[in-house]
Amino acid sequence: MLEDAEPSIDWDALTFSFKQTDRMYLATCKQGDKWQPGQMQDFADLSMSPAAGVLNYGQGLFEGMKAQHAADGSIVLFRPNLNASRMQGGARRLGIPPVPERMFLDAVHAAVRENSRWVPPMGKGALYVRPLLLGSGAILGVAPAPEYTFLVYVSPVGPYFKGGIKPISLKVSDEFHRAAPGGSGGVKAIGNYAPGMIPSKMAKSEGYAEVIYLDAVHHRYVEEVGAANFFCVRDGVISTPELTGTILPGVTRASVIEIASSRGYEVREERIEVDYALDADECFCAGTAAVVASIGSIEHSGRVVEYGGGEVGPITMEMYEALTAIQQRRASDEFGWTVAVE
Ligand SMILES: *Cc1c(COP(=O)(O)O)cnc(C)c1O
């Protein structure tokens, strides 16, 4: 059977890009009804009305998580319950019926299980899991759609940033902001991401890996690195922007905070002035796709600051090692964060 065959992939050449896999999960729900479990089907295009709420008004959310081969031979997910509850929060913000946590988790497990031949060997990458929740029913006025689609597809991925562990160069955006108070920056609304594409592309054409966004009110405090959370280390104290509503509450961010605190580091969630970050000893960003990525330099208004002389800083390295060891079950999972796919 096709599903049992080893896919013809060069696992060492994986990048963070879409590769079609075998199966996907799909469920639908009418506004006002309760979600009923959906089913797995072959990977296929979707069909929906041109008047679908998501196509016209961006009523949609996504999630991102990874399944990996672990040291004990199992395939594991990392804290998938946090993705389930984050998507529920986003659904409430966008007027979408929230998907029950159990249904979300069952869908993710089934999507990984039925595509398990696409999970890269340990250390070569991961199976990226992409849940989507969309207003798929037709609606002309600006209002919540009459019907919703929840689906989960997967794709094998390699490193998010080209160059792997090598520290990345970033540029503070002086022109663009990602999110404003009272908006949707704190949830994974699909509409938050298209406006970041041109800023990111402009930065890449100048040789940077991504942009750093400052807050939209004062244009003074660091918010995020593209689609990853920001951390800096100064005199052994680890700081990350506090969750003010404009910052996406990352699962990786929460995990780094807990790991660092448990190891005795002082961790502060606070407003971080861009000048404080520029004078830090180490900076890194954290996210499911990026994992923990060392920041080698930041450009801001013509000033370029380099960290660690091209080397990954010691605390950044410690966080990367500690996190990935738990995720791959190479270390004991003291927090109970990994979940084997049944
Ligand atoms: C998804 C995302 C992150 C990282 O969240 P994780 O749960 O760690 O993957 C950070 N910032 C933005 C804007 C995001 O969309």
Q: Is the pLDDT score of 162 beyond 90? A: no
Mean pLDDT lowest among 115-119, 161-165, 227-231, 289-293: 161-165
What global pTM score does this model have? 0.96
Alpha helices in the chain (DSSP H): 53-57, 80-94, 101-113, 197-205, 251-262, 274-278, 314-327
- What are the tens digits of pLDDT across the range 190-232? 999 999 999 999 999 999 999 999 999 999 999 999 999 999 9
The predicted model gives 160-168 an average pLDDT of: 76
What the block records as the tokens of 49 is: 């009305």
Residues near 113 by beta carbon (within 8 Å), at least 6 away in sequence: 341, 342
Q: In the structure, what pLDDT confidence band is assigned to residue 6 with cuts at 50, 70 and 90?
A: confident
Residue type, 342: E
* Per-residue pLDDT at 138: 98
Q: Is the pLDDT score of 325 beyond 50? A: yes
CATH of domain 2-157: 3.30.470.10
Pairing of strands 168-172, 147-157: unpaired
Q: Where are the domains of the chain?
A: 2-157, 168-327
| Cα of 251 from ligand 1 centre, angstroms | 7
Q: What rounded mean pLDDT belongs to the chain?
A: 95
Q: Is the pLDDT score of 2 beyond 70? A: no
What DSSP character marks residue 193? T
The predicted model gives 260-280 an average pLDDT of: 98
Q: Is the pLDDT score of 17 beyond 70? A: yes
Q: Is the pLDDT score of 123 beyond 50? A: yes
The predicted model gives 138-162 an average pLDDT of: 93
Nearest residue (CA) to ligand 1, atom 3 = 228
The predicted model gives 84-95 an average pLDDT of: 98
Nearest residue (CA) to ligand 1, atom 5 = 250
What the block records as the tokens of 338 is: 């990994």
Residues with CB under 6 A from ligand 1: 64, 188, 224, 227-229, 248, 250-253, 287-288
| Cα of 253 from ligand 1 centre, angstroms | 8
Q: How far apart are CA 286 and CA 174, in angstroms?
A: 22
What DSSP character marks residue 310? G
The predicted model gives 87-102 an average pLDDT of: 98
The predicted model gives 164-182 an average pLDDT of: 93
Nearest residue (CA) to ligand 1, atom 2 = 227
Residues annotated as catalytic (active site), given as ranges: 188
Q: Is the Cα dihedral 204, 207, 209, 212 positive or negative?
A: negative
Q: Is the pLDDT score of 1 beyond 70? A: no
The predicted model gives 235-263 an average pLDDT of: 98
Q: Which of 78, 82, 288 to mutate to test the pocket of ligand 1 (most atoms within 8 A of CB)?
A: 288
Place of tokens 């040789």: 207
Q: How far apart are CA 127 and CA 7, in angstroms?
A: 13
Q: Which CATH number fits domain 168-327: 3.30.470.20, 3.40.120.10, 3.40.50.2300, 3.20.10.10?
A: 3.20.10.10
Q: Is the pLDDT score of 70 beyond 80? A: yes
Q: In the structure, what pLDDT confidence band is assigned to residue 276 with cuts at 50, 70 and 90?
A: very high
